[in-house]
Chains A and B, each alone.
Chain A
């Protein structure tokens, strides 16, 4: 499998995801939207797996390869959210954001350089990076909820529902960055002899983690201000962009 066939897989997946997103608005049953989204994910993953096989290493080295995972995990995160809380719009949102990364990859495939330096050849490397990418997708969605809330505060009728949605996304996202960060620590121990050296990447990862812990703990009090919570989320997401 090479990048030459990417467009066929990507377009098929996008068609399936869009159909699923569309049907989510049309029917109250979950079955069809879920089925279509899963099929789209399967098609897209077939490409990733094929590329993985022909590169003889996980496709995680170049920006183009990383974007592949974004395109894959956004609909996956959307699907989980949809299954659990039935937000009808989430599948459209994830399909559109996935399409953005797909379009970038078609327009500007960054496919050069096939090597992986020794320190990266660890069983922890792949899950560490994939989980972080997944958490980006989820926490990105939480950030959009926050921005939406702050812009339209006066017009929102069901604030508790929106806040609960944001809590849900943050709990999942924080669980993921916790796992990603700790896998990173275990890998660092095997590769460099210490689990945490406070290099800039680790420092910003710690800052991001604390940012989300702030949100989680602040939200425990019922009297907490929704606004402050949402600003905290945006701030934490900015920290995530640095690391």
Chain B
């Protein structure tokens, strides 16, 4: 059979029309962007986002059922519209990966004066182009779902429903919900109670919960040793610095050509110094540092070099052991293994709850989730304050429902594999 070349826009629509529509939507959005600037999420707070979402979903469904037999609805629920829509969004996301993204709340004046700023590319997720393309995709997903629901069912559809409903929920919930997310930071001093927190713009907010910081503790990893270039202070070898993690007195190790033997270890040390002599002694008060006494040999040295290395604290300076005129052994700041805030949380109805909050172990209470954020880094393990982040995201359940469906859909893809296609 002779295939005739189809002219663009002639039905049935295929990929060419798909790209035209997707690019047309992107261009329209770009015009709006130039006219109006980035979308302000605060305009979409509850209940606007709920109404908007409901109208969107219902509108698409209505269009589907009214125009179901029309060719363009069939096209909108086919891969001919889907593939170009995904491709154009992918293009936008690649641009986003290549341009630095500035956080919300960055002042307009901080943006560079160039065409990217006008196009909203430094805050892609609130740009019209990004949002229009996302909603176009959401519409296509809904059309595809409705089409599948109204045609013959087979067991393979399970995977289709899981994946597409999952993405619909996660994406819609994520976009609409972002306007309702509140993230506040709260700083509490040991022994004090705090119920006020700062929002992103620095405004003070009172919360329905109060946090008392009972104690704050930091657990550190054992100290490390590195070889440094004593002029530049850079760790050696420059490309991929080597380090040794302390494992016990008497251990021997090789570091960038030096042989190092550990002679003494003081986890709680104080420095004593006169005009030409530095020594470290046990010191059990706040501000104690960590010190290792080591012996260093290397083929270029006539005699071994022996002495203390320490990483200092907010009262003691650090101590480097010079090996020769260009290199020395230094101890970087101990890495933090975990930090824990023991707190008592009070709610408005008079309940009190004790809890340990750590990184990765937030506390959920009264619709808020309390995260360990940071502490007084100048004091390190002697910090007497703890900084928390309080997050409220009322749409989280919807997003998580979507994520769970998507995960189930992925398992289905994994097990069922692709359809065996019959080839002509």
Contact = CB atoms under 8 A, between A and B. Distances in A.
A152 interface: no
A210 B90 contact: yes
A178 B339 contact: no
A192 B361 CA distance: 10
B86 A167 contact: no
B413 A171 contact: yes
Interface in B298-315: none
Q: Residue among A176, A198, A199 with the most chain B CB within 10 A?
A: A198
B369 interface: yes
Interface string A228-243: 0000000000010010
Contacts of B82: 217
Contacts of A239: 94
A195 B399 contact: yes
A193 B391 contact: yes
Nearest to A122: B360
Contacts of A175: 410-411, 413-414
Nearest to B93: A207
A50 B352 CA distance: 44
Contacts, number: 133
A191 B391 contact: no
B359 A119 contact: yes
A203 B414 contact: no
Interface stretch (B20-28, B47-55, B67-75, B238-246): B238-246
Interface string B310-354: 000000000000000000000000011111000000000000000
Interface residues of A, number: 54
Interface in A163-187: 164, 167-168, 170-172, 174-176, 178-179, 182, 185-186
A220 B419 CA distance: 9
A218 B418 CA distance: 13
A204 B414 CA distance: 22
A81 B28 CA distance: 46
Interface string A210-222: 1101100111111
Interface residues of B, number: 56
Interface string A56-94: 000000000000000000000000000010000000000
Contact of B244 (A112, A172, A195): A112
A49 B362 CA distance: 30
B97 A160 contact: no
A21 B269 CA distance: 58
A26 interface: no
A203 B359 contact: no
B101 interface: yes
Contact of A214 (B86, B101, B174, B181): B86
Contacts of A113: 224, 243, 245
Given A112-B243, A174-B413, A190-B362, A207 B335 contact: no
A217 B94 contact: no
A91 B62 CA distance: 53
A85 to B, nearest CB: 9
Contacts of B242: 112
B421 interface: yes
Interface string A104-148: 000000101111111101100000000000000000000000000
A196 B224 CA distance: 34
23 contacts: A110-B240, A117-B335, A118-B337, A118-B338, A119-B359, A119-B360, A160-B421, A164-B418, A171-B417, A171-B418, A178-B407, A179-B410, A182-B407, A185-B403, A193-B369, A193-B371, A210-B90, A211-B90, A214-B87, A214-B90, A217-B79, A220-B79, A222-B421
